[in-house]
């Protein structure tokens, strides 16, 4: 009987986190690969987890054992029936069909939540009830054991699900196979729950089991309102730290399951250690370690993009690990007796959901900057202080005035440091806006007479403000850059070109358009075009463009796919992909399937696909050039340097059906000959498979 509980709880936790990664991986390219896609998914799962814990708390407190077993058996059977129905209608039970792809970029949060509700809402709810419900049943069926050890086991199953995904599941199984295997394992889990429910009714319950004292507060004392607020606060701050740290990791690299798994794994490890090894947490050790990690993290943030990628990840990981150990360690110290087990878990889940909502929903609406990470760091110190105040045995109460004043002073100093650090990004900012797709800043650089667009911490183009240079194409798009040379030397230059651009930025490439030309931008962020349009635009490349300017809103790949399906081939002479410049790359724009879509929209053999691969952290040459080699296409790398006219160092790969367009005139003199003997071959990226580790640079480069 005990092994049945162990296996069912472990499997439920494994499936709980595997489904998060599978569905998140499926939805990511539908919404532009933005970091907020994963954050929104996490918040949805936290809210459903809360509802599952509330369900377990209510039925345990109000229903008889027979009623509990009957109701839960019906619910589990219903979830299996829903999965079977979806499996018939969709490619796989939990992966929606293409008809669910968003038609526009409007309200992505609402669309994501709707899709998640329909696809995995019911089975995820059932999985979320398993931990607290079966732990409570185990106390009744197997009196004398600690249910908190089963809680640690549940988190171990979650960790196995997380770590298994990027290293075992994702590299070897396609997304459809993943979904089908998950559905089969869910059916096995459902059988285990039903067997446990039936076995519960055959055993006599010990009426004294619920009043046992299993660590923490005595079972006979009801937790106070202050106790419950503390539980929620500790869980909420840890959850907010998890989500904000995940966003911080993803914003400058790539939004992929690997970078979802790392912070979530650290978060779960702290749960496992603190609840399984109840004496591990020491106040003299871990709060000071958190302070040291916090100092390292602030230094790394101050260094900005000059810090190596691994150093940034290490700093974020260290502060997340130590901060969550502090929160979860204090949570274990404040936990109640087993009689209040489900209420405790309900408070913890409520705190986690509130922390997630604060980061994913509230913060983007009240903060112009990415300040929720700083707030979470400060909040960790604040809830630790609150835990000391609530614990009459804590060292604070030996000399409350002196020690309390010192801690309050430290918290004040920490707030000052974090506010100063957060405010560095807004220096010289003329305009700041934030939405689902990130933070945009229009920043004046008076010393060099230009205004630039910054997304997160990455500059996405600039324009000179003096009249003599206002129309010069700058940054990565100078006349000596790969895309500049491709446009200026294209054989159709005199008769008129049709140019496509994935990613608008400040609209720099519009400076190349002549009267007979048409330039079509694909842009997913609705805030970007507003910076270049209206009565007083910050950037005037679009306004002063001599050719025809078209703007297609929405994810570029989905838009191009939709246009192809509708027979609206764009027939581009040049298609420039400009979504990979030193920040979070949308991986779905670099897959085999994506390149196939791009090529369908080219006019003919003289058309050029120009891919911008300048990137501080990632070497994208093997991905892009490898595609050309595998499909018999001609390709060349063009590297340009800086100059006084605003050009920045840039790397572009030009791809065409034949070599002729790539060696014409100045283009041929600028290309770097490709030495096939030094080609670093990697497995092709597809919609089912991508491997970011294979292209990460050991140290950052200046693109």
Cα distance between residue 651 and residue 666, in whole Å: 16
Q: Which domain range does residue 55 map to?
A: 1-205
Give the residue carrying structure tokens 């002196």: 402
Residues 123 and 233 in one domain: no
pLDDT of residue 104: 62
pLDDT of residue 679: 64
Give domain status of residue 156, yes or no.
yes
Determine the Cα angle at 311 with ends 305 and 312, to 5°. 55
DSSP annotation of 475: B
Residues in the chain: 703
User: 229 and 189 in one domain?
Assistant: no
Tell me how far apart the alpha carbons of residues 655 and 637 are, in angstroms, rounded to a whole number: 9
Q: What's the pLDDT score for residue 204?
A: 42
SS3 553: strand
List the chain residues with pLDDT less than 70: 1-5, 104-106, 138-152, 199-221, 251-259, 304-307, 309, 338, 425, 580-585, 665, 667-679, 693, 697-703
**Which residues sit opposite 452 in a β-bridge?**
443, 462
CATH number of residue 571's parent domain: 3.40.50.150
Residue labelled with tokens 């003329």: 430
Please tell me the number of Cα atoms within 13 Å of 14 on its side-chain side. 21
The CA distance from 677 to 153, in Å, is 50
Residue the block writes with tokens 């059932």:
126
Beta carbons of 507 and 497 less than 8 angstroms apart: no
Which of 426, 442, 459 corresponds to the end of one domain? 426
Q: Answer yes or no: do 541 and 612 share one domain.
A: yes
Residue 483 inside a domain? The answer is yes
Check whether residue 276 and residue 419 sit in a common domain: yes
Q: How many domains does the chain have?
A: 3
Same domain flag for 135 and 228: no
- 169, HSE (Cβ side, Cα atoms, 13 Å): 26
Q: How far apart are CA 638 and CA 332, in angstroms?
A: 58
Same domain membership, residue 524 and residue 567: yes
Of 632, 631, 570, 567, which Cα lies nearest the Cα of 598? 570
User: How many Cβ atoms are within 10 Å of 413's Cβ, its own excluded?
Assistant: 10
Do the domain assignments include residue 215? no
Q: Are 516 and 383 members of one domain?
A: no
| Cβ atoms < 10 Å from Cβ of 635 | 21
Pairing, β 650-656 against β 574-577? unpaired
259 belongs to a structural domain? yes
Residue 469 within any structural domain of the chain? no
Q: Residue 4: its pLDDT value, please?
A: 61
Residues 384 and 500 occupy one common structural domain? no
Please report where in the chains the tokens 């069909």 appear, as a residue. 97
Task: Verify that 226 and 194 share a domain, yes or no.
Answer: no
Q: Does some domain include residue 698?
A: no
Phi, psi of 441 (to 5 degrees): -130, 135
Same domain, 142 and 279: no
Domain membership of residue 696 (yes or no) is no
Residue 597: the pLDDT is 93
Q: For residues 612 and 610, give the distance between their C-alpha atoms in angstroms, rounded to a whole number.
A: 7
Residue 565 CB: number of other CB atoms within 10 A?
9
Last residue of a domain, one of 393, 409, 426: 426
- Please choose, from the candidates 500, 517, 662, the residue with its C-alpha nearest in 3D space to the C-alpha of residue 571: 500
For residue 699, being part of any structural domain is answered with no
pTM score: 0.79
Per DSSP, 103 falls in state S
Instruction: Identify whether residues 610 and 658 lie together within a single domain.
Output: yes
pLDDT the model gives residue 209: 38
Domain containing residue 125: CATH number? 1.20.1250
Q: How far apart are CA 633 and CA 519, in angstroms?
A: 25
State pLDDT tens for residues 334-345: 888 767 777 888
- The structure tokens 């030397």 sit at 489
pLDDT of residue 301: 79
pLDDT at 232: 94
491 and 419 belong to one structural domain: no
CB of 614 within 8 A of CB of 649?
yes
Structural domain ending residue among the three candidates 152, 173, 205: 205
Angle between helices 286-303 and 400-423 (to 10 degrees): 20
């Amino acid at each position: 009987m005990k092994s049945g509980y162990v296996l069912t709880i472990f499997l439920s936790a494994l499936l709980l986190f595997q489904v998060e990664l599978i569905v998140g991986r499926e939805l990511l390219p539908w919404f532009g690969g933005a970091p907020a896609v994963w954050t929104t998914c996490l918040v949805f799962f936290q809210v459903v987890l809360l509802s599952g814990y509330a369900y377990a708390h209510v039925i345990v407190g109000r229903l008889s054992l027979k009623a509990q077993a009957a109701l839960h058996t019906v619910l589990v059977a219903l979830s299996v029936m829903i999965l079977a129905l979806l499996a018939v209608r969709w490619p796989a039970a939990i992966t929606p069909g293409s008809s669910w792809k968003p038609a526009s970029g409007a309200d992505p949060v609402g669309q994501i939540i709707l899709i998640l509700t329909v696809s995995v809402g019911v089975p995820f709810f059932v999985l979320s009830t398993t931990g607290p419900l079966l732990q409570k049943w185990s106390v009744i069926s197997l009196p004398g054991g600690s249910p908190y050890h089963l809680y640690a086991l549940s988190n171990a199953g979650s960790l196995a699900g997380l770590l298994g995904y990027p290293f075992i599941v994702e590299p070897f199984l396609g997304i459809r196979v993943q979904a089908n295997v998950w559905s089969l394992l869910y059916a096995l889990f459902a059988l285990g729950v039903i067997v446990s429910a039936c076995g519960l009714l055959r055993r006599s319950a010990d009426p004294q089991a619920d009043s046992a004292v299993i660590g923490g507060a005595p079972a006979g004392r009801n937790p106070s309102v202050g106790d419950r607020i503390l539980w929620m606060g500790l869980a909420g701050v840890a959850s907010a730290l998890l989500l904000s740290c995940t966003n911080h990791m993803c914003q400058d690299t790539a939004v992929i399951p690997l970078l979802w798994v790392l912070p979530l794994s650290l978060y779960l490890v702290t749960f496992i250690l603190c609840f399984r090894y109840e004496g591990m947490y020491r106040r003299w050790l871990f709060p000071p370690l958190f302070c040291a990690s916090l100092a390292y993290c602030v230094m790394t943030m101050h260094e900005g993009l000059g810090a190596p990628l691994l150093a940034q990840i290490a700093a974020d990981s260290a502060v997340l690990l130590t901060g969550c150990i502090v929160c979860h360690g204090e949570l274990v110290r404040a936990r109640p007796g087993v009689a209040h087990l489900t209420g405790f878990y309900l408070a913890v889940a409520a705190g986690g959901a509130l922390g997630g909502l604060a980061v994913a929903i509230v913060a983007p609406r009240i903060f112009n900057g990415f300040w929720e990470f700083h707030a979470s760091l400060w909040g960790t110190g604040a809830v630790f202080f609150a835990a000391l105040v609530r614990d009459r045995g804590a060292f604070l109460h030996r000399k409350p005035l002196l020690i309390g004043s010192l801690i309050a002073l430290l918290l004040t100093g920490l707030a000052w440091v974090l506010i100063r650090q957060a405010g560095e990004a807004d220096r010289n900012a003329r305009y700041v806006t934030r939405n689902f797709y990130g933070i945009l800043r229009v920043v004046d650089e008076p010393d060099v007479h230009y205004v630039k667009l910054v997304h997160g911490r990455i500059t996405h183009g600039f324009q000179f403000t003096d009249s003599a240079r206002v129309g010069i194409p700058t940054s990565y798009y100078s006349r000596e850059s790969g895309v500049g040379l491709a446009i200026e030397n294209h054989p159709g230059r005199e008769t008129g070109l049709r140019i496509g651009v994935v990613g608008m930025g400040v609209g720099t490439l519009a400076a190349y358009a002549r009267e007979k030309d048409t330039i079509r931008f694909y842009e997913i962020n609705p805030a970007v075009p507003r910076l270049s349009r209206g009565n007083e635009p910050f950037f005037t490349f679009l306004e002063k463009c001599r050719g025809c300017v078209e703007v297609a809103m929405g994810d570029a790949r989905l838009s191009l796919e939709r246009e192809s399906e509708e027979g609206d081939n764009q027939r581009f002479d040049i298609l420039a992909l400009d979504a990979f410049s030193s920040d979070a790359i949308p991986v779905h724009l670099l897959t085999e399937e994506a390149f196939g879509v791009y090529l369908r929209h080219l006019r003919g053999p003289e058309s050029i696909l120009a891919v911008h691969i300048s990137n501080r952290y990632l070497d994208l040459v093997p991905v892009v050039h490898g595609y050309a080699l595998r499909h018999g296409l001609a390709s060349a790398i063009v590297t340009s340097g800086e100059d006084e006219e605003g050009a920045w160092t840039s790397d572009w790969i030009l791809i065409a059906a034949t070599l002729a367009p790539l060696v014409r005139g100045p283009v041929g003199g600028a290309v770097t000959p490709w030495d096939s003997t030094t080609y670093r071959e990697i497995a092709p990226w597809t919609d089912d498979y991508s491997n970011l580790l294979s292209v990460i640079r050991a140290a950052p480069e200046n693109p």
